[in-house]
């Protein structure tokens, strides 16, 4: 039987963004509070009763969170423009090797009611 488990982490970060709509404020350095949700899918291990221990997931998320939290996203290597789309795929790439059960990464800006999900390459 297949199950999905999720783990959220939060980070605050600043960035600039070149865009055509609401352009002026986006070009200036500004920040957001983000929530990222990582979803893993798999079968339950009969011994542990878990797809993967949430503590193990927390350990794997630490480096991704540390690379983004209280950072200027324009300077994060391999991110590109700091959009929710690029954040979701960047988090995916940073976790995929250590989380083979990874099926989805969703980045939320809860204060604006916005989100973006990425299902992998």
At which residue do the structure tokens 């899918």 appear? Answer: 41
Q: Over the stretch 49-88, which tens digit does the pLDDT of each residue have?
A: 999 999 999 999 999 999 999 999 999 999 999 999 999 9
Domain with residue 34: its CATH number is 3.30.479.10
The yes-or-no verdict on residue 26 having pLDDT over 90 is no
Enclosing H/E stretch for 64: helix 54-68
Find the domain containing 52 and state its range. 2-118
Q: Where are the alpha helices (DSSP H) in the chain?
A: 23-27, 54-68, 84-95
Total structural domains within the chain:
1
More confident residue, 36 or 120: 36
């Amino acid at each position: 039987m297949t199950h999905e488990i999720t783990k959220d982490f939060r980070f605050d970060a600043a960035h600039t963004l070149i865009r055509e709509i609401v352009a002026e404020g986006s070009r200036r350095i500004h920040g957001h509070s983000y929530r990222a949700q990582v979803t893993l899918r798999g079968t339950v291990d009969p011994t542990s009763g878990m797809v993967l221990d949430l503590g193990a997931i927390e350990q794997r998320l630490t480096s991704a969170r540390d690379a983004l939290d209280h950072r200027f996203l324009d300077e994060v290597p391999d991110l590109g423009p700091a959009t929710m789309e690029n954040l979701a795929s960047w988090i995916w790439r940073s976790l995929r090797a250590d989380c083979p059960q990874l099926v989805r990464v969703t980045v939320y800006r809860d204060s604006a009611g916005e989100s973006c999900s990425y299902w992998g390459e």
